[in-house]
């Protein structure tokens, strides 16, 4: 029910509130982290959703683990608002057509990246169980 309200917060009477995909993704991420729909893993879930949705919209989040922790803690503590998080996502994401490299310095296709993220997501859900 809480997760459903996070998704519903993206529209008002069937009208889109956010003008672009990154704004919607940031708003959803913010709601998942602040509404706390799961017993644990809300910050990780917020980032996994953002990562996945950005890739599906041809963008890649470029942020270190420490940057991710810092921003998610600020969200949890309500030190930043939704608009700040959206701006942070714009500042920390790039169009996937610009540059994507793996550890070997070779380019990764968007299709490969989507498969990789899907695999990570399934591994996380499989190893920790799904929360309802």
Domains and CATH numbers, the chain: 2-128 (1.20.120)
pTM above 0.75, yes or no: no
Quote the DSSP letter at residue 90.
H
- Sequential pLDDT tens for the chain (132 residues): 555 555 555 555 566 666 788 998 999 999 999 988 888 988 999 999 999 989 888 899 988 889 999 999 999 999 999 999 999 999 999 887 765 555 555 445 555 655 665 665 555 555 444 443
Beta strands (DSSP E) in the chain are: 11-12, 15-16, 59-61, 93-95
């Amino acid at each position: 029910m809480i997760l459903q309200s996070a998704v519903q917060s993206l529209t008002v009477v069937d009208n889109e509130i956010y003008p672009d995909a990154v704004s919607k993704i940031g708003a959803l991420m913010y709601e998942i982290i602040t509404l706390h729909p799961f017993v644990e893993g809300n910050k990780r879930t917020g980032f996994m959703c953002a990562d996945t949705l950005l890739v599906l919209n041809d963008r890649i989040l470029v942020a270190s683990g420490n940057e991710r922790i810092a921003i998610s803690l600020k969200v949890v503590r309500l030190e930043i608002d939704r608009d700040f998080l959206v701006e942070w996502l714009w500042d920390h994401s790039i169009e996937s057509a610009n540059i994507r490299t793996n550890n070997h310095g070779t380019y990764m296709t968007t299709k490969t990246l989507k498969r990789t993220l899907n695999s990570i997501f399934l591994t996380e859900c499989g190893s920790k169980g799904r929360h309802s």
